Amino acid sequence: MMMRSISVLGATGSIGASTLDLLRRNRDAWRIEALTANGNVAELARLAREFSASIAVVADEEKLPELRDALSGSGIEAAGGASALAEAAGRGADFTVAAIVGCAGLAPTMAAIERGGVIALANKEALVSAGEIMTAAVARHGATLLPIDSEHNAIFQCLQGNAAEHVRWITLTASGGPFRDWSWERLSRATPAEAIKHPNWDMGAKISVDSATMFNKGLELIEAHYLFPVGLDRLRIIVHPQSIVHSMVEYRDGSTLAQLGPSDMRVPIASALAWPERMDTPCAPLDLAEIGELTFRKPDEERFPATRLAREAAQAGGGIPAVLNAANEVAVAAFLNGQIGFTRIAAHVEDVLGSFAPPAPTGLAEVLAVDGEARARARILMEAA
Ligand code: NAD
Ligand code: MG
């Protein structure tokens, strides 16, 4: 295989670490262009040196001097701040892993798309916020968007070789999160520490809380709506506590294709890195006899309203998914800080959605404006509550 260049946006996070673990095992296949982080300069510099990156970018500009120090003598370029982040992302690497958490990843992801390479997308909040604008940019710039969110990667694999017109249902599986069997009363007392402890996956704090509220599945429903435009009424969610079946596609003839694998993000990441080929991973092989049982049940939107709110936001379209995402980001941060209770997260998102109907954004700047306004309203409503 020819050597390809790669940038990892969000290199110090959970997806970043899984990606770099695979790259570390395939050093001959990849040249590392940019590695980025929000503020963890020590880890970023360590990774940039290990992988001989061309440039390391810290989003928090105040930390640039510290990064310069940490990289001195290495010949690795150091940069800081949001515009440096987008500039580095837009340097035209053959392959970009978009693994920043939140809408903060939108501008750099768009910069990579505009250079027309392959973009492996973990950063679902970016696509949820800018769905139509991002998918239009992918088409306009001849970029390739490969999903590495496990469900969407599964669906992508199950759709290969089949025309979308034959799809009857796309079913996203959901673990249901750590609280799937909790009563409403118990949910109202859930703590951040309890929410972050996911039974199947080891993930960043924000997505762990999203998994507990089911906003993760709500965001993924919107993500699927933009990635696989078969119509919102063909997208369903099913709770599957074992997280082995990562999603399914049912065709009009009654055939259902599913993708199965261990709960290890290196599997979908490897599928994107090697696409359309395959590569080895160190992941444990799937031992279904050991697992024994795969179970499925309907989601409960009474206790977990997030998927209903997300479906309504996707139906409304325009800037509404960006409002839902921004309100959720603010609410999750407030929950993690101990400012609001667990069941207030969805209630708060619903309040923000009810208070604000922005015009449909027509470009990146408008999406960022909707995101900013929704955050401001989310904070005001939170103070008032
Ligand atoms: P994480 O919190 O572990 O890592 C986030 C990364 O983004 C870090 O490198 C951090 O430095 C960087 N970052 C954070 N805020 C930033 C900002 N304002 N500007 C620039 N960089 C910033 O998160 P994660 O679990 O790796 O998730 C990353 C993305 O992948 C999220 O969108 C998440 O929903 C998605 N995802 C994660 C998993 C998983 O298993 N972790 C699975 C599917 C999808
Ligand atoms: Mg997922």
Q: State mean pLDDT over 213-221.
A: 98
Is the pLDDT assigned to residue 370 strictly greater than 90? yes
Cα-based distances in Å from 383 to 85, 330, 334: 32, 12, 11
Q: What's residue 203's pLDDT?
A: 87
Q: What's residue 201's pLDDT?
A: 76
pLDDT band for 1, please (50, 70, 90 cuts). low
In this structure, which residue's CA is closest to atom 25 in ligand 1? Answer: 204
Question: Among all ligands shown, which has an atom nearest to the Cα of 152?
Answer: 2
Cβ of 246 below 6 Å from ligand 1: no
The answer to whether the beta carbons of residues 184 and 343 sit under 8 Å apart is: yes
State the residue for tokens 């993930």.
Answer: 203
Q: State mean pLDDT over 361-376.
A: 98
List where CATH 1.10.1740.10 sits in the chain. Answer: 317-385
* CATH architecture of the domain with range 4-147: 3-Layer(aba) Sandwich (3.40)
Rg (alpha carbons) of the chain, rounded to whole number:
20
In this structure, which residue's CA is closest to atom 34 in ligand 1? Answer: 207
Q: Is 211 annotated as a binding residue?
A: yes
Q: Separation of 220 CA from ligand 2 center, angstroms? A: 7
Cβ of 124 below 6 Å from ligand 1: yes
Q: Separation of 337 CA from ligand 2 center, angstroms? A: 24
In this structure, which residue's CA is closest to atom 40 in ligand 1? Answer: 203
Is the pLDDT assigned to residue 202 strictly greater than 90? no
Q: Is 220 annotated as a binding residue?
A: yes
List where CATH 3.40.50.720 sits in the chain. Answer: 4-147
What pTM value is reported for the model? 0.98
The Cα–Cα gap between 176 and 211 comes to 7
pLDDT band for 384, please (50, 70, 90 cuts). confident
Q: What is the dihedral of CA 137, 44, 66, 38, to 10 degrees?
A: 40
Q: Is 312 annotated as a binding residue?
A: no
Q: What is the pLDDT of residues 143-178, one digit of tens each?
A: 999 999 999 999 999 999 999 999 999 999 999 999
Residues for the chain: how many in total? Answer: 385
Q: What is the pLDDT of residues 18-72, one digit of tens each?
A: 999 999 999 999 999 999 999 999 999 999 999 999 999 999 999 999 999 999 9
What are the DSSP calls for 22-36, one per residue? HHHTTGGGEEEEEEE
Q: Would strands 167-174 and 245-251 be described as parallel, antiparallel, or unpaired?
A: antiparallel
Question: Among all ligands shown, which has an atom nearest to the Cα of 82?
Answer: 1
Q: Quick check: ipTM above 0.95?
A: yes
Give kind and range of the element (H or E) at residue 62.
none
CA-angle at 284, arms to 283 and 289, nearest 5°:
150
For the CA of 149, the closest atom of ligand 1 is: 43
Contacts 24+ apart (CB under 8 A), 64-73: 66/41, 67/41, 70/41, 70/42, 70/44, 70/45, 71/45
State the residue for tokens 């963890």.
Answer: 40
Cβ of 15 below 6 Å from ligand 1: yes
What SS3 state is found at 258? strand
The Cα–Cα gap between 156 and 241 comes to 22
Q: Is 92 annotated as a binding residue?
A: no
What fold characterizes domain 317-385? Rna Polymerase Sigma Factor; Chain: A (1.10.1740)
Q: What is the pLDDT of residues 241-254, one digit of tens each?
A: 999 999 999 999 99
Cβ of 249 below 6 Å from ligand 1: no
